[in-house]
Amino acid sequence: MYEVGSGGSSEFDISKAEMSTMDFEFINQDGAPYGTEQLQGQYWLANLIFTYCPSVCPTMTPNMERLQTAMNAEGVEMSFISFTVDPERDTAEALYSYGSNVGADFASWQFLTGYTTEQITEFAAESFKTPVQHIDGSEDIVHSTSFFLVDPDGNVIRKYDGLQSNQESIIVDLMNTVN
């Protein structure tokens, strides 16, 4: 799948994979319903995280925050969505605290929960073609480290490395794609 968009407008282009997000309505960090309806007609960048993550999330979440800050500074209007893969522990209150601790601007970044583990596993598989898997005897949960850009029609058109420390190429691609 990484090579699908190699002939497109950027190295991140996965639009030829013809992926689209499932309709959803979950609960955000404020305990309010949030989903497809609120995101309709806009670009949004999504990732999968969980607050107890011992491995990749402590890198991915600050990287997402830096992208949000860069887009805000450039006047690029888009939303940022983090779906927890641990909905049993990641309550709205836990996600609010987590987002606050990383400096998320809740005006455009929503942290979502309010579903079952089975529902997020299906959502990730259907929408982003990526697995979510709990590891027996471990606190860790296998999930994608990618950031997925969704267009105003709900199509997944870009895939970025969420662990990439130098984000300049991602910022340039986001600005060129969203604007």
The model's pLDDT over 107-160, given as tens digits with 9 standing for 90+, comes to 999 999 999 999 999 999 999 999 999 888 888 899 999 999 999 999 999 999
* Higher per-residue confidence, 140 vs 38: 38
pLDDT score for 3: 31
Query: Is the pLDDT confidence value at 6 over 50?
Result: no
Lowest mean pLDDT among 1-5, 120-124, 164-168: 1-5
Residue 145 contacts by C-beta under 8 Å, 6 or more apart in sequence?
A: 56, 60, 161, 162, 163
| pTM for this entry | 0.91
pLDDT at 128: 96
- The owner of tokens 């992926």 is 19
pLDDT at 4 over 80: no
Closest CA to 78 of 97, 91, 64: 64
**Nearest-angstrom CA–CA distance, 113 and 105:** 18
Q: Are the beta carbons of 29 and 96 closer than 8 angstroms? A: yes
